A = this chain, B = another copy of it.
Amino acid sequence: MFLQNAACWSVPGGARATPHLSTSLASALRSCDIAHAKAIQALGKFASCDVGDALVQIGLRHGGYLSGLKMYSPGSNGTVAKIFGPAYTVRMVPSADKTSPTPPCHFADAIPKGSVVFVSQPKGLISACWGGLMSTRAKKLGAAGVVIDGQFRDISEHQELNMGLFARGTSVLGSNTFTRSSELNVPVQYDNVEVDEKVTVTPGDYILGDQDGVVAIPVAHIEECVRLCQERYEIDQKTLEGLEAGEEMGSLIKKLRK
């Protein structure tokens, strides 16, 4: 279901379905597979700030940054918290919309293990489209986190579940009379309102969120993103050491960032 954009990740399934495949190609695919899995694992260790900068360098206008989302759970208790996983997207429509598709099942029952649930709510509403019962189900299915492009409710319940949850805001109102789910795992648009930019979140894009914010990482860029993050991380570590030793920011940047 995920990762349909990831050349070296989507093929192995095909490979397993094709026993005639030459041994050398199969092994090449397998090693590609492993490299990709390692890249994903490495990616999850970086901060949203590292990743955003790397994606800007790669050429994404705002580095996949989804501006305006706040971490509401597990809460601002000082501990470092992060969500990371491939996006499982849910497109909501107004309840009054009777023509848009209806999903084959409740959207909370189709959450893939390890995924970040990404719910896109129509704008201009003050109702929620996610709540405590949803997080209970998501936890049961092994979700890695939740991002609500809109409002959610039952703050304390998500915190009790220790579910990583980001949203634009809160509400007391359930979705019932206001919105309904329409399509699952389709590309959705996230609006960076301040800069009039629509970021497409494609199912399988990796979502990484921490205290500073949320970024969406297209699968095609994962390897390059990790390489740049690693490179910059080392520079930042050396800069930090230099600063702690009393060196000047200006000369450290000149020396290290080249």
Residues of A participating in the B interface, judged by any CB pair closer than 8 Å:
47-49, 51-53, 56, 62-63, 65, 67, 75-78, 80, 105-106, 108-109, 124-127, 131, 133-134, 136-137, 140, 153-156, 159, 170-174, 176-177, 192, 194-195, 211-215, 236, 239-240, 243-244, 246, 248-250, 253
Residue of B nearest to A173 (CB): B52
Q: Is the CB of B172 within 8 A of A63?
A: yes
Question: When A124-B194, A195-B125 are in contact, do A172 and B212 touch as well, CB less than 8 Å?
Answer: yes
Q: Report A256 CB to chain B, min CB distance, Å.
A: 11
Q: Is the CB of B133 within 8 A of A49?
A: no
Q: Name the one of B78, B109, B136 contacting A244, with C-beta atoms under 8 angstroms.
A: B136
Which of A154, A159, A248 has the most chain B CB within a 10 Å cutoff? A248
Stoichiometry, as copies per complex, reads 3
Question: When A78-B75, A155-B211, A240-B133 are in contact, do A173 and B250 touch as well, CB less than 8 Å?
Answer: no
Residue of B nearest to A66 (CB): B172
Q: Report A144 CB to chain B, min CB distance, Å.
A: 18
Q: Is the CB of B133 within 8 A of A171?
A: no
If A133-B236, A140-B243 are given as contacts, then 6 extra A-B residue pairs at C-beta distance below 8 Å, sorted by A number, are A56-B176, A75-B78, A109-B249, A126-B194, A155-B211, A172-B215
Residue of B nearest to A139 (CB): B243
Q: Is the CB of A212 within 8 A of B159?
A: no
Q: Report A133 CB to chain B, min CB distance, Å.
A: 6
Q: Name the one of B105, B136, B192, B240 contacting A240, with C-beta atoms under 8 angstroms.
A: B136
